[in-house]
Amino acid sequence: MEMAFVLDLSAAKGLLEQFASVRSKTEQLAEGLSDADASVQSMPDASPTKWHLAHTTWFFETFVLRTGVAGYVPFDHRYHYLFNSYYEAEGPRLARHLRGLLTRPSLAEIMQYRSHVTQAIKVHFACLPPSLLELIELGCHHEQQHQELLQTDILHLFGSNPLLPAWHPGDMSASGNSSEPHELRWVTGRCGPVEIGHDGPGFAFDCETPRHTTWLSPHALSSRLVTNAQWRAFVDAGGYRDPDLWLSDGWAWVKQDHIEAPLYWQRAADGHWGSQFGPRGTVGLAEHAPVRHVSYYEADAFARWAGARLPTEAEWEAAAALLDPLKGPFLESVAPGIPEDDTSDAPLRQMYGELWQWTASAYLPYPGFRPAAGAVGEYNGKFMSGQFVLRGGSCATPRGHVRPSYRNFFYPHQRWQFTGVRLARNL
Amino acid sequence: MEMAFVLDLSAAKGLLEQFASVRSKTEQLAEGLSDADASVQSMPDASPTKWHLAHTTWFFETFVLRTGVAGYVPFDHRYHYLFNSYYEAEGPRLARHLRGLLTRPSLAEIMQYRSHVTQAIKVHFACLPPSLLELIELGCHHEQQHQELLQTDILHLFGSNPLLPAWHPGDMSASGNSSEPHELRWVTGRCGPVEIGHDGPGFAFDCETPRHTTWLSPHALSSRLVTNAQWRAFVDAGGYRDPDLWLSDGWAWVKQDHIEAPLYWQRAADGHWGSQFGPRGTVGLAEHAPVRHVSYYEADAFARWAGARLPTEAEWEAAAALLDPLKGPFLESVAPGIPEDDTSDAPLRQMYGELWQWTASAYLPYPGFRPAAGAVGEYNGKFMSGQFVLRGGSCATPRGHVRPSYRNFFYPHQRWQFTGVRLARNL
Amino acid sequence: MEMAFVLDLSAAKGLLEQFASVRSKTEQLAEGLSDADASVQSMPDASPTKWHLAHTTWFFETFVLRTGVAGYVPFDHRYHYLFNSYYEAEGPRLARHLRGLLTRPSLAEIMQYRSHVTQAIKVHFACLPPSLLELIELGCHHEQQHQELLQTDILHLFGSNPLLPAWHPGDMSASGNSSEPHELRWVTGRCGPVEIGHDGPGFAFDCETPRHTTWLSPHALSSRLVTNAQWRAFVDAGGYRDPDLWLSDGWAWVKQDHIEAPLYWQRAADGHWGSQFGPRGTVGLAEHAPVRHVSYYEADAFARWAGARLPTEAEWEAAAALLDPLKGPFLESVAPGIPEDDTSDAPLRQMYGELWQWTASAYLPYPGFRPAAGAVGEYNGKFMSGQFVLRGGSCATPRGHVRPSYRNFFYPHQRWQFTGVRLARNL
Amino acid sequence: MEMAFVLDLSAAKGLLEQFASVRSKTEQLAEGLSDADASVQSMPDASPTKWHLAHTTWFFETFVLRTGVAGYVPFDHRYHYLFNSYYEAEGPRLARHLRGLLTRPSLAEIMQYRSHVTQAIKVHFACLPPSLLELIELGCHHEQQHQELLQTDILHLFGSNPLLPAWHPGDMSASGNSSEPHELRWVTGRCGPVEIGHDGPGFAFDCETPRHTTWLSPHALSSRLVTNAQWRAFVDAGGYRDPDLWLSDGWAWVKQDHIEAPLYWQRAADGHWGSQFGPRGTVGLAEHAPVRHVSYYEADAFARWAGARLPTEAEWEAAAALLDPLKGPFLESVAPGIPEDDTSDAPLRQMYGELWQWTASAYLPYPGFRPAAGAVGEYNGKFMSGQFVLRGGSCATPRGHVRPSYRNFFYPHQRWQFTGVRLARNL
């Protein structure tokens, strides 16, 4: 975390409001979930809602209150062990795959824990030194990440239940079904030396820094994400049965796990892939909506089948830097400033807030990367092997959380996140 | 199930009372458990409480109401799939290790399901043919088995939680801690031809029949179960580190799972085994209480170390047949009628209702065994490989459920049941 | 090992001849195998030929020469570790599944090791005390067991090679193909108290003792083994797809391992099961030959399908005790002395030397069983959980090795031995 | 494979000589190995020598002779299935982990297969079209890769044998023990835009192309590889027990596999790491020799401990391009042409032919990468996920095989190759 951090009064006030808002938003997300919903872990990759609620609280208690507030009495000293995620420096912790065994403490007790810590932060906020305010800001962004995971983990839990319960029966926001059809256009990207990485006044994670030069070869990006209709064509063409299209590890995964379609796609009685499970339960497959819940392996195979490839993270960022993340996926997020070597005037759509877009880039340190100091330095750097970068944020990403330099990362077989595909090609 | 079944009016009334009592008892056992407690599955061998509550209800709905009551409307047709356990004849079912993913339906909904089915049985009871009354009786005994599993499964869940919550903080009944010390005496058993197996007027599972002759060699049984103090001596003598004491499969299990003591035993800070987890939470190891939660492998190794062996199920039953199961473990359940070749007049203690006692007998069909007809015929016979018989019932066994001919069975590595050890030796 | 053992001169001479003959026979079996054939381990259950050759030699070196011959110089001190099988008392040993990594020492070196030890035994034979002569006799029987394993392990290796090489291209002896069709008859067995177990002057393993009384219920045995034609009818009737026919563990095995037919059966291009792999390579399925290479699970399922069951080991032994093992499978081994309650005069065929016959008996200690003293006491007793008894010997069993009381044992899923099925039924 | 390929007569003659030399060299490597040594597979990652010998031959038979020589009669049609490695386009093949079951065909038969194919290529060479000559050249480089694997796989086999046999008892060439101590110096690398990738007249694999611009940040490379002495300091400092030093996946690997030191390091009786297994058997750990057989995870953790990092593949290539691979590791391979921003005049040692050097670069396609056409296009591109690039070649790499642009790749946990560590740091 290379943050310049000199907070004046108004900035501090903004941080306190942000803190209150983030804490409150997390609790809203858990509304409607039962104690059982919030306790069960549907697979080792996922965590129970209760754990998300508690761990984000643990972060503030551990790194701010226990460190910086003299006389702070922890809510329950046993929680220090229970809700540590992977911070080795913070001592032993519950093995990840056992998080679902914590039927106690109850959801209500976890909510009290949240209250206790939220209040303590608020009470002591005015007296905290800048280094701890930085950690509060980090904690807010950390909690926003867990807001998204909370949603994808609940979706996985409900999607593993034969009853396929709807989480938000009437909610249209997460669907993308209202997408208008857009012709896929190729938008020329910048080439030659470009700078990527974070270097602004705002917040960024350590892995987004330092800003540095990289070199881009001539290429173009597709103007929108791959749709369900396109993906169905891939399925119908035997894409999941043709090893020539797949990476070797990807093909092994397809065979081992009997992969035939994106996660949550469902067959109709006639064998046709006609619907998909989502936050609203089972809904029909919208032709023009972007395909979601695909792995890197699938994204890569689709691109090969389509005669294209996935963009690198630098290509993506060089284009995205010109767009405003807050405008969201459905607005005309045309890239106005693409340089003159751009031979197309098509707008780049769905860059932010629609689906996380797999890039062809392994998640590795930037030149000159230095992890943040202290235990929070374990935050990002230790995951830099075997994963791929995703960009752009999804419908489950909190508004304001994503930015052009934001690097998300997952293993190439994982697909329970809101992941999608943008194509690229060489020019 | 080879039951003679001619119910007169008073017998039918007795059955209806039994049904009501069993249904009610199950629900009492679930009191104090949260929706989360009732939903989580702590290991593939265990099932969630909610599943026990629902599956026992499924049994009555499937085998009695759907079969025998014209016009019966199932509570929820999807439950037929969700709560089938292993009855292949009843169609596909949820894989056993996925039972913990059912956060919906909620505990409250399952309780409604129970009510619905209990009421329907009561309403239609008077009109049911004898064959269905037989199935109701079977269902009551089936539900009693699940009452015990419900308790051992919750114990395992709580014992897997680092907080080690107490289920019944003040409950002394399950502890055995009040045991008086009793000298271990050897009680001569019957030998020559003896008859075992069920042949009475009461209920028995099919696997307890037919009653048949077997031949016993001269032997003696220990007058009480092996105690914690004795087991600690075994541990201290290096019993868990000496391969000579163990069956080959048992030794592999010890090494693979790093077994050092009975399940739920806990070390004090000084490394001493000083306490154990149980329904009341963590309590001190009572010296004279019988050791519990040991596997067959451990029981067998202990017996070898002690210069003894485990009794066969026939030896156990021949002695136990003379005692009254309802008198319980702590009464003077002296075996009055042991024949004259008995050279000891010591009473046999703790035969019933204390702990399930591992026998040296594999769980196999009796000569002439015939499974019950129909889907319930899958009840027992299909498990007749790889398991060992346990006898006597435990503190978690419903009063009146056990009988001399009762055959419980588990795999030799399993130990989350209330299992203990009685020794035998050749004469 | 409860052997009365007072050897006079002629008995000692007989033992020396037996020793020489057994050692030589093992080496004949390895003829025609390459160094590679003799080194590879095709699955953890199997061992390389080289290992069989060396381990049987290790037995004599460890228990006779190192113990009983002052000044004996081991051939290579490292072999003590390499070729121990499971004798914990003899110290650490190579993990079983790593036996196939020993490309050195070579087959030729192992043959020199054999020579060295064989010679040393012969040289010192006259001076050995009776206790070591007993161990030589035990070692001969031990080596005969490995002679059979050597053959089944090589068969498994060759059967795992896509080229399916024939081991003995012209050898007809192991085929059973010349069997005449015999009508299946039911032969009434003895009932009431019978004695089984070894009590004679000859050799027996400890697990065959003591001779003791058991009680048999009225039953009959089938006059011959189940044939390929009968088994094909079972396959064609969907026997491998009907869970009602299978033990629960067996059904899990069928599904997990995609079991569709006996091991080594092969489909023709039209999907028909038309041939099987064996020592002579791939040959047509002989209709009247007994089916071989089936697991206990399969044997049990077939019996259930046929309305019968498997015999207990006591039923088998009570009938077999009247026959002469040396007469072999194809002779008229009619049971002449079956008591008058025998309602059939059909001969019992194929009792010895055809195929090991699964019994319905778990492999457990006989009443009064005491393991042999010393390290050889690990020989049998430690395997007494989870396995089933087989009786009768197979075409690969050395002539003279089997006897009425002989107890072989394997896990219920194993089928790479020469295993077959005799049926029984209750009367 | 982007090869300009216009062969004149002398070039063709050179290719034929190269072919003959490569084929012969492979066979020399197998000298001294027994049929058993050549048949056993010590782990799924490794292949038997026989398989290497046959598969490299299969390559020429499949892609040259079967395709391009009318009337060619395959040596044995079954080999097409047996010795395919991963070419999906060439049809089904033996599962990789089963390669060790092929005790037949024998080593001698495989040698005949080699002869047959070598001869056929020689006979038909003059008539082959350029496209097939290209495939012969590719086949030679392919076979050289297998020459190295053959050596590392045999080393793993012998290293898994408790006897730890020496492969080349007197061979000093592979040891590196004669290394003189060299002070570690930091050599400034080039920065700004640099070109990497193959673009010359000689052979290169498709993954080395196209040559393209990349951007280097200011950095320095260490002048030599990390030594055994340095690594021992890391071990002694608790490097393998401190999670802060490790990538998250790396730490999981350390714990799971109980990793404590480089592969093949051995403890003395006093617990000290004093020797290592290698081609000459067990030898003392040479202080100044470069540490070998470490995984990416270990290399990365060591670098972090040392306050440095691993070089990227572009950094490595930019420096190495100025050196001559043929001069080997021990010569003064000073980098003469490092531009003026080089503040150090230290020579870069051990760049080629000593050990494969882990880079911080994931193995991914270069911008504009296009796989070779046809089945050989599966050669490289399909492995582009989850692996890291290694550079420089090792003592087992055939002379002339490596070049500045050469990209080797392995998974981050693998370490049975001759892998070592060069450090880098930011300036």
Convert the pLDDT of each residue in A3-14 to its tens digit: 334 456 778 899
- Cβ distance B100 to A104 less than 8 Å, yes or no, reads no
- Cβ distance C157 to D103 less than 8 Å, yes or no, reads yes
Who's near A119: CB < 8 A, 6+ residues apart?
none
Beta bridge partners of D216: D192
- Cβ distance B104 to A163 less than 8 Å, yes or no, reads yes
pLDDT one-digit tens code per residue, A386-419: 999 999 999 999 999 999 999 999 999 999 999 9
Instruction: Among D86, D296, D364, select the one facing A248 at the smallest CB separation.
Output: D86
Q: Is the peptide bond before B130 cis (omega within 30 degrees of 0)?
A: no
pLDDT at C175: 45
pLDDT at D179: 58
pLDDT at A179: 58
Who's near C373: CB < 8 A, 6+ residues apart?
none
Q: Which residue has the higher pLDDT, C4 or D71?
A: D71
Beta bridge partners of A227: A290
Alpha-carbon distance D46 to nearest alpha carbon in chain C (angstroms): 13
Nearest to B360 by CA among B404, B416, B426, B418: B426
pLDDT at D175: 45
The chains found to touch B (3+ Cβ pairs under 8 angstroms) are A, C
Task: Provide the token pair at A188.
Answer: 């020329």
Chain C residues whose C-beta sits inside 8 Å of any chain D C-beta: 34-40, 42, 78, 81-82, 94, 98, 100-107, 157-158, 160-163, 165
pLDDT at D75: 97
Q: Name chain A contacts of D248, Cβ cutoff 8 Å.
A: 86, 382-383, 385
* ipTM for the predicted complex: 0.93
Question: By mean pLDDT, which of A180-194, B84-98, B402-416, C136-150 is the weakest?
Answer: B84-98
CA within 13 Å, CB half, B13: 3
Q: Which residue has the higher pLDDT, A424 or B371?
A: A424
Percent of chain D with pLDDT over 90: 80
pLDDT at A180: 67
- Cβ distance B86 to C214 less than 8 Å, yes or no, reads no
Task: Provide the token pair at D312.
Answer: 């990227």
The Cα C77–Cα B228 span in angstroms is 45
pLDDT at D344: 54
Q: Name chain A contacts of D86, Cβ cutoff 8 Å.
A: 248
The Cα D9–Cα C7 span in angstroms is 86
pLDDT one-digit tens code per residue, D292-310: 999 999 999 999 999 999 9
CA within 13 Å, CB half, A50: 24
pLDDT above 80: residue B331:
no
- Cβ distance D247 to A215 less than 8 Å, yes or no, reads no
Question: By mean pLDDT, which of A94-98, B100-104, C73-77 is the weakest?
Answer: A94-98
pLDDT above 90: residue A224:
yes
Q: Name chain B contacts of A102, Cβ cutoff 8 Å.
A: 161-163
- Cβ distance B386 to C384 less than 8 Å, yes or no, reads no
Residue found by looking up tokens 């490379």 in the block: D221
pLDDT at B374: 75
The Cα B179–Cα B194 span in angstroms is 32
What is the torsion angle, in degrees rounded to the nearest 10, for the CA atoms of residue D86, residue D91, residue D96 and residue D100? -130
Of all residues in chain B, the one with the smallest CA distance to A157 is B101
Of all residues in chain B, the one with the smallest CA distance to C361 is B364
Instruction: Among D40, D102, D162, select the one facing C94 at the smallest CB separation.
Output: D162
Strand ranges for A151-240 from DSSP E: 186-188, 192-196, 212-216, 219-222
pTM exceeds 0.80: yes
- Cβ distance D82 to C162 less than 8 Å, yes or no, reads yes
The Cα B250–Cα B257 span in angstroms is 10
- Given a cut of 50, the residues of chain C with pLDDT beneath it are 1-6, 172-178, 330-343
Of all residues in chain A, the one with the smallest CA distance to D91 is A243
pLDDT at C373: 80
Where b means 16+ CB within 10 Å and e means fewer, C311-321 reads bbbbbbbbbbb
Q: Name chain A contacts of D384, Cβ cutoff 8 Å.
A: 247
Chain B residues whose C-beta sits inside 8 Å of any chain C C-beta: 86, 88-89, 193, 212-217, 219, 243-244, 246-251, 296-297, 300, 309, 360-362, 364-365, 367-368, 378, 382-386, 388, 412, 426
Residue C388 gets which letter from DSSP?
E
Alpha-carbon distance C101 to nearest alpha carbon in chain D (angstroms): 6
Who's near C398: CB < 8 A, 6+ residues apart?
C22, C25, C144, C147, C148
CA within 13 Å, CB half, A178: 7
pLDDT at B107: 98
- Cβ distance D88 to A243 less than 8 Å, yes or no, reads yes
- Check contact B-C (3+ Cβ pairs < 8 Å): yes
Average pLDDT, stretch A415-427?
Answer: 97
Instruction: Among A34, A81, A105, select the one facing B103 at the smallest CB separation.
Output: A34
Of all residues in chain D, the one with the smallest CA distance to C164 is D104
Average pLDDT, stretch B337-352?
Answer: 64
Confidence of residue B312 (pLDDT cuts 50, 70, 90): very high
- Cβ distance C249 to B385 less than 8 Å, yes or no, reads yes
Confidence of residue B258 (pLDDT cuts 50, 70, 90): very high
Instruction: Among C217, C247, C367, select the one facing B367 at the smallest CB separation.
Output: C217
pLDDT one-digit tens code per residue, B70-90: 999 999 999 999 999 877 777
Instruction: Among D78, D101, D163, select the one facing C160 at the smallest CB separation.
Output: D101
- Cβ distance B217 to C213 less than 8 Å, yes or no, reads yes
pLDDT at A1: 29
Could you tell me how many CB contacts below 8 A there are between chain B and chain C? 86
Q: Name chain C contacts of D101, Cβ cutoff 8 Å.
A: 40, 42, 157, 160-161
- Cβ distance B40 to A37 less than 8 Å, yes or no, reads no
pLDDT above 50: residue D238:
yes
- Cβ distance A162 to B106 less than 8 Å, yes or no, reads no
Region for D103 from its dihedrals, namely left if φ exceeds 0, alpha if ψ lies in -120 to 50, beta otherwise: alpha
pLDDT at C344: 54
| SS3 at position C262 | coil
Residue found by looking up tokens 């989350």 in the block: B416
pLDDT above 60: residue B113:
yes
Of all residues in chain B, the one with the smallest CA distance to A33 is B103
| SS3 at position A277 | strand
Q: Name chain B contacts of C424, Cβ cutoff 8 Å.
A: none
Question: By mean pLDDT, which of A37-51, B248-262, B263-277, D1-15 is the weakest?
Answer: D1-15
- Cβ distance B157 to A106 less than 8 Å, yes or no, reads no
Alpha-carbon distance A245 to nearest alpha carbon in chain D (angstroms): 9
DSSP A287-307: TTSBP-S--HHHHHHHHHHTT
Could you tell me how many CB contacts below 8 A there are between chain C and chain D? 87
- Cβ distance D386 to A386 less than 8 Å, yes or no, reads yes
Q: Name chain D contacts of A250, Cβ cutoff 8 Å.
A: 385
Of all residues in chain D, the one with the smallest CA distance to A386 is D386
The chains found to touch A (3+ Cβ pairs under 8 angstroms) are B, D
Number of Cβ atoms within 10 Å of the Cβ of D344: 14
- Cβ distance D426 to A368 less than 8 Å, yes or no, reads yes
Q: Name chain D contacts of C102, Cβ cutoff 8 Å.
A: 161-163
pLDDT one-digit tens code per residue, B355-407: 999 999 999 999 999 988 877 777 789 999 999 999 999 999 999 999 999 99
Q: Name chain A contacts of D424, Cβ cutoff 8 Å.
A: none
Instruction: Among B88, B244, B367, select the one facing C244 at the smallest CB separation.
Output: B88
pLDDT above 50: residue B2:
no
Task: Provide the token pair at D72.
Answer: 């060619």
Q: Name chain A contacts of B105, Cβ cutoff 8 Å.
A: 163
Instruction: Among B213, B247, B386, select the one facing C382 at the smallest CB separation.
Output: B247
Percent of chain B with pLDDT over 90: 80
